Amino acid sequence: MPKLDESLLTGLPPFSQLDRQQIREILDQATSHRHEEGKAVFREGFDAGRFFLLLDGHIRVVRSTETGEQVIVLHISPGQLFGIARALQRDTYPATAIAAAESIALSWPTSLWDSFVARYPGFATESYKTLGRRLGEIQSNLTAMATKAVEKRVAAALLRMVNQSGRKTEDGIEIGFPVTRENIADMTGTTLHTVSRLLSGWQKDGIVKSTRKHVVVTDPHRLVVLSQTTG
């Protein structure tokens, strides 16, 4: 791959405590891949042969339930590590990673993880902080699916995506990657019919504007209120 300038990565969490020479050493062992929208980067249960750093695009993390349903538990933004099964003391991937949009990621053999952690303390510190936050987010999302009303879950899911990837447009704040109503249903443990009904109602009320793969939040404050309303 073209040689990346280490200065492009100095602000990213895994590298923020490393000097340029250390970043260069890590980059020189990386491979770059482009992943088409909708394609799996890796699949749940498969051998975790590599770990990844997302440079551009967005990654959707999907887990299977005991009944075989697919649940979207997380979205990965640029600058984040993913597929770090070794950090969880696993030999297989705990979830499937799918490119939510065309994405570019660096990857390294999993066999390098332990040496990176030992050799670059700053890499380890920031990576495990990210992992802790991510596990907390997954737990919060799963708890919400089990305890919150559907309307609140869907509103909260849209807000998470807006906070993570939102970009301002003339109409409001657009979620920065393609997302379908079926995706939202998979994130919130509800049905496609229910999500369609809610989004259609919110669109009439001027809260969101949605098309086949894009959602714009036109009234963020009202969506926040919906996500917090009791009942």
The class of domain 6-136 in CATH terms is mainly beta
- Lowest average pLDDT, out of 81-85, 122-126, 191-195, goes to 122-126
pTM for the structure as a whole: 0.80
Q: What topology is assigned to 148-228 in CATH?
A: Arc Repressor Mutant, subunit A (1.10.10)
Task: Please state the domain extents for the chain.
Answer: 6-136, 148-228
Q: Give me the mean pLDDT over the 168-195 stretch.
A: 91
Helix or strand holding residue 8 (H, E): none
Given a contact cutoff of 8 angstroms between Cβ atoms, the answer to whether 188 and 149 are in contact is no
6-136 and 148-228: identical CATH topology:
no
Given a contact cutoff of 8 angstroms between Cβ atoms, the answer to whether 210 and 157 are in contact is no
Distances (CA, A) of 175 to 89, 148, 165, 217: 33, 23, 6, 8
pLDDT of residue 138: 74
**pLDDT tens sequence across 4-56:** 788 878 888 889 889 999 999 999 999 999 999 999 999 999 999 999 999 99
Query: 210, 196, 187, 214: which is closest to 72 by C-alpha?
Result: 187
**pLDDT tens sequence across 127-164:** 888 888 887 777 777 666 666 889 999 998 999 899 88
Between CA 180 and CA 227 the distance in angstroms is: 19
Going by C-beta distance under 8 Å and a sequence separation of 6 or more, which residues neighbour residue 82?
41, 51, 52, 53, 54, 59, 61, 76, 97, 105
Between CA 71 and CA 156 the distance in angstroms is: 16
